[in-house]
Amino acid sequence: MKGRESGMPEEAMWADFFDPPRILELLGLGTEIRDIVEFGCGYGTFTLPAARMIQGTVHALDIEAEMLEATRIKAAAAGLKNVQLHQRDFIANGCGLAAESIDYAMLFNILHVENPVALLHEAKRILAPGGRAGIIHWNHDPATPRGPSMAIRPRPAQCIEWVLCSGLELPKPSIIDLPPYHYGLVALRPS
């Protein structure tokens, strides 16, 4: 099941919205991380920088074959051998990864799905104790050039509530400003 309002803009436009290495660093991704999962890899905007930063494997999930192929081509061109692509309806069927097998989950621009708490529960299920989930979403501002409609775009306080309802913790429940159009949080699976 494709997430509601999950269409991607043209890649050049999308790439202008982010500084992926800086965002990943601000969200606590670093060389101590082994394996990660990315729920909805899109064009690989964050997949490739993450693969360069970690010691293990990036499990890049997407429902769309075209997005996976775009990511595959870029990973191959960059010589990255630690990216595994999975075509999967993770919203309906989970991610298919083993419980407590992942150090970091990336949930970027995706919590506008119909049941964000269920998606966060799935992230918690696969995170190892002490594992982290990085969350990014569009600012709740109708002036942003993209993003889901304001009716379903979560405010930061909603994301915090959903994280806590899923059983993840927010050691520092502060919102991380990710200009020009996004905010982020880092959640933790309790040990």
What percent of the chain is modeled with pLDDT above 70?
A: 92
Query: How confident is the model over 21-25, as a mean pLDDT?
Result: 95
The pLDDT of residue 81 is 97
Chain segment 51-67, per-residue pLDDT in tens: 999 999 999 999 999 99
The 3-state DSSP class for residue 87 equals strand
The pLDDT of residue 11 is 63
Beta strands in 19-126 (DSSP E): 36-39, 58-62, 83-87, 102-108
Query: Where does 78-173 have alpha helices with state H?
Result: 90-93, 116-126, 156-165
Residue 116 pLDDT level (bands cut at 50, 70, 90)? very high
**Of 108, 102, 96, 105, nearest to 129 (Cα)?**
102
Under 8 Å between Cβ of 5 and 148:
yes
Please give the C-alpha separations between residue 29 and each of 15, 110, 136, 190, in angstroms, as whole numbers: 19, 19, 13, 18
- Among 11-15, 100-104, 169-173, 175-179, which range has the highest average pLDDT? 100-104
Residue 8 pLDDT level (bands cut at 50, 70, 90)? low
Judge whether residue 143 has pLDDT over 60. Answer: yes
SS3 content of the chain, % helix, strand, coil (to 5): 30, 25, 45
Residue 171 pLDDT level (bands cut at 50, 70, 90)? confident
Across the chain, what does the average pLDDT equal? Answer: 92
Judge whether residue 30 has pLDDT over 60. Answer: yes
The pLDDT of residue 187 is 97
Domains of the chain from N-terminus onward: 11-188 (3.40.50.150)
Q: Return the half-sphere exposure (C-beta side, CA atoms, 13 A cut-off) of residue 107.
A: 30
E strand or H helix that includes residue 168: none
Judge whether residue 112 has pLDDT over 90. Answer: yes
The pLDDT of residue 174 is 85
Query: How confident is the model over 142-164, as a mean pLDDT?
Result: 93
Judge whether residue 157 has pLDDT over 60. Answer: yes
